[in-house]
Amino acid sequence: MHAERRPFIGGNWKMNTDLASGVELADAVLAALAAAGVEESVDAAVYPPFPYLFTVGRTLGHSAVLLGAQDCSADVSGAFTGQVSAGMLCDVGCRSVIIGHSERRHGLGEDDELLHEKLAIALESGLVAVLCVGETLSERDDGRAEAVVAHQLRGCFGTLKAETVERVVVAYEPVWAIGTGRTASPEDAQAMHASIRRVLADLYDSRFAARTRIIYGGSVNAKNARAIFDGPDIDGGLIGGASLKADDFASICRAAAEAWSAAGGH
Ligand code: PEP
């Protein structure tokens, strides 16, 4: 953590919960965050499945927890069967969206060109865009991890102007660490986050790089979170499995708050 960047913790519920248990989880998250006393020091967000957004949003009410979606269309409207636009997400109360999760990059073939379009439209709509990047295991084994991630960043940011990218949170999620129980070591995660920050400085400028939050995702849990968050370029986490348990999610938020406070944040 770094004192100047407030931690961001997102809970990616993926294709889990049903309507009733999603509402229960949202309720429990609010209660657990209040009990953990972290509302003042962490930006927390939850990303339920599309059909539950509106109802979960009502449960979140006027709390500080951001409602987010797991994806959005690259188009504004029209003949795109099954797609959901960024504007529609805003209509149902979303304030954030995940772009380019590896389960979409690799499972559904989304490439940087498409993700650039999605990022542009999400930002234009006023959403906080959590842009995911990360290498596969073979890319890491070949020593190409930083180059792959830099290429993804350049492709996704593309021609976006500095003033439009203020609301981006970059999520570094090594593909081999997502849902596997295997996390990047705190040292490897920190090294990659520092590399991402250098790419952002090169794409825009050092001030933009210094204020942009770069969060880590990949099997973060209540036990390993603090060691990861102590990295000076690690500004929080995107949490999958552990976000489905309100107490674990709140413990991860507390780890972020403690790491931030230890770094001099408040
Ligand atoms: C994710 O879905 O972005 C993720 C990091 O999942 P998990 O925490 O389960 O590895």
Q: What is the mean pLDDT of residues 197-211?
A: 96
Tally of structural domains, the chain: 1
Does any domain span residue 1?
no
- Is 2 part of any domain? no
pLDDT at 158 over 90: no
Domain assignment of residue 102, given as a range? 8-262
> Hey, is 180 helix, strand or coil?
coil
Say if residues 13 and 25 touch (Cβ distance below 8 Å).
Answer: yes
Torsion angle of the four alpha carbons 103, 104, 106, 107, in this order, in degrees rounded to the nearest 10: 80
Q: What is the pLDDT of residue 266?
A: 80
- Please tell me the predicted confidence (pLDDT) of residue 47: 98
Q: Is 143 among the domain residues? A: yes
Radius of gyration, CA atoms only, the chain: 17
In a domain, 185, yes or no: yes
Q: What does the pLDDT read at residue 176?
A: 94
| Cβ of 178 below 6 Å from ligand 1 | yes
- pTM here? 0.97
CA distance 86 to 127: 8
**CATH number of domain containing 17:** 3.20.20.70
* Ligand 1 atom closest to the CA of 239, numbered from 1: 8
Q: In the predicted model, what is the mean pLDDT of residues 87-115?
A: 96
The mean per-residue pLDDT over the stretch 31-43 comes to 95
Rounded to whole angstroms, what are the CA distances from 100 to 2, 12, 58, 71, 74? 25, 13, 26, 8, 11
C-alpha distances out from residue 224 to 58, 161, 181, 242, Å: 32, 36, 11, 11
Position 24 scores a pLDDT of: 98
Ligand 1 closest atom vs CA 217: 5
Nearest CA to ligand 1 atom 6: 240
Q: Which residue has the higher pLDDT, 43 or 162?
A: 43
Residues with Cβ < 8 Å from 188, sequence gap 6 or more?
A: none
Q: Which of 178, 216, 252 to mutate to test the pocket of ligand 1 (most atoms within 8 A of CB)?
A: 178
The residue type of 45 is: A
Q: Kindly state whether residue 171 falls inside one of the protein's structural domains.
A: yes
User: Would residue 108 count as lying in a domain?
Assistant: yes
Ligand 1 centre to CA of 19 (Å) is 21
Ligand 1 and 218: CB distance under 6 A? yes
Per the CB < 8 A criterion, the answer to whether 240 and 14 are in contact is yes
Instruction: Give which of 147, 138, 194 is closest to 170, Cα–Cα.
Output: 194
